[in-house]
Amino acid sequence: MAGKKYNTPLIDDLEKGPWPSFVTEMKKAAKNNEMANDALGHLEKCYSTKRGYWKHGGIVGVLGYGGGVIGRYSEIGDEFPGVAHFHTVRINQPSGFFYNSKALREICDIWDKYGSGLTNVHGSTGDLVLLGTKTEALEPIFAEYSSRGWDLGGSGSALRTPSCCVGPGRCEWSNYDTLDLTYALTQEFQDELHRPTFSYKFKIKSSGCACDCVAALARADLSIIGTWKGDIKIDQAEVKNYAKKMDINAEVVNMCPTQCMSYDGKELKINNAECNRCMHCITRMTKALRPSGERGATLCMGSKAPIVVGSLLSWVIVPFIKLEPPYTELKELIRKIWDWWDENGKPRERIGEVIEIKGMRSFLEAIGVPPQPQQIKEPRKDPFMFYTDADIEGFKAKEAEEKKTGKYKF
């Protein structure tokens, strides 16, 4: 394989500084791989002409699957033949991104054989993203990975590969088994993952607590955020230890979003009825504070980046749900959510947008979730109240009855 054949002054600039550089890594790959080498030259040309030359989409994929491969072609493939086809392959990552070195070596060896050798581990979807291969290599790549137990991830108008935080694998604060849930949902919804049937993409991300290490609340159509029902237990002796090294009032009490805490220099108190389980105090004083009581999750719905309408954050739909195998209640709810979206969504409308258009009321009615005060859209705004025509008729009838009996009061 030839050494550097492109002069790349602009992208060379991205190697400066103390941080890791993707250009440096691409150059390493380019020593052994013509596709990676041409990708370098192509990128330099994009920078120097201030144009992207990539075309996206089309009919690439493996037989029977509607996702997992994202077709990319270069408009200037004649000049850079190594990147004339430069398809992306998404491999479904294990829950919580746990691998051993054997697994990683296996993935990279296959990729070196058929692709550019360049990877993005992990992509923002959570998948192992393998960057750059040719159309004719797709079936052999799939055959090699699937024979070793790997599968493609989601793309297009389908369920995207569910992802989660490390959960109980490495974190004591996880309120449910994010790893097991993600695996269970991935297995349950294989059809929805590999065969695009939706109006647009649908992402499920699971975080074990409100620290939300996978940023589910901002990225997932269904954000599953771990929470608990009991009080925050306080170890006052440990609070005293923290007081020696930090300003508890400034760093914890005054930062509490619901102002449910107080500290008089001797004792920390929490009004648990006002606590919204944001995790801030617990992460600042891990030895002194600890959740207690029943564990589960809050289900939030509808976050997305801006495309049809602006970006949205997820919105609480189920304040508390127990999450234990086989997760039947959650799976049934997800299917009801998809049915409503399918009935009401237009192409390229994410579910959050459809809820904005059709209203949370019609959404909640369709999925059979009752309206609850926790379903506020934004903090410190009134909960919205639902009154159906039948409710109003009932109120009127009751009012008329009370007027008759003299019980009616303004």
Nearest-angstrom CA–CA distance, 162 and 93: 9
Q: Which of 26, 36, 67, 91 touches another protein (CB under 8 A)?
A: 67
- We find the least distance from the C-beta atom of residue 68 to another protein, in angstroms, to be 10
The β-bridge relationship of strands 289-291 and 295-301 is: unpaired
Q: Which is nearer to another protein, 105 or 348 (CB)?
A: 348
| Packing angle of the helix pair 351-358, 328-344 (nearest 10 deg) | 70
Told to check if 223 binds another protein by CB under 8 A, we report no
Told to check if 200 binds another protein by CB under 8 A, we report yes
- We find the least distance from the C-beta atom of residue 25 to another protein, in angstroms, to be 28
Number of residues that bind another protein (CB under 8 A): 27
- We find the least distance from the C-beta atom of residue 30 to another protein, in angstroms, to be 27
Told to check if 123 binds another protein by CB under 8 A, we report no
3-state secondary structure of 84: coil
Show the CA angle centred on residue 118, arms to residues 206 and 94, nearest 5°: 25
Site string for another protein, 335-374 (x = CB under 8 A): -------x----xx--------------------------
- We find the least distance from the C-beta atom of residue 156 to another protein, in angstroms, to be 4
Told to check if 156 binds another protein by CB under 8 A, we report yes
Told to check if 57 binds another protein by CB under 8 A, we report yes
Site string for another protein, 299-338 (x = CB under 8 A): --------x-------------------------------
Q: Are 334 and 203 in contact (CB under 8 A)?
A: no
Residues 6+ apart with CB under 8 A from 373: 383
Q: Are 110 and 145 in contact (CB under 8 A)?
A: yes
| Packing angle of the helix pair 328-344, 178-188 (nearest 10 deg) | 50
Nearest-angstrom CA–CA distance, 23 and 368: 51
Candidates 46-54, 193-201, 266-274, 360-368 — which segment interacts with another protein by CB under 8 A? 193-201
Please state the separation of Cα 111 from the chain's center in Å. 26
- We find the least distance from the C-beta atom of residue 332 to another protein, in angstroms, to be 18
Q: Which is nearer to another protein, 57 or 359 (CB)?
A: 57
Nearest-angstrom CA–CA distance, 301 and 226: 14
Q: Are 268 and 245 in contact (CB under 8 A)?
A: no
Q: Are 272 and 232 in contact (CB under 8 A)?
A: yes
Told to check if 199 binds another protein by CB under 8 A, we report yes
Told to check if 71 binds another protein by CB under 8 A, we report yes
- We find the least distance from the C-beta atom of residue 317 to another protein, in angstroms, to be 23
Which pair of structure tokens corresponds to residue 186? Answer: 């991935």
- We find the least distance from the C-beta atom of residue 335 to another protein, in angstroms, to be 14
- 318 pairs with which residues across the strands? 299
- Residue ranges in contact with another protein by CB under 8 A: 57-59, 61, 63-67, 70-71, 135-136, 139, 155-158, 195-197, 199-200, 307, 342, 347-348
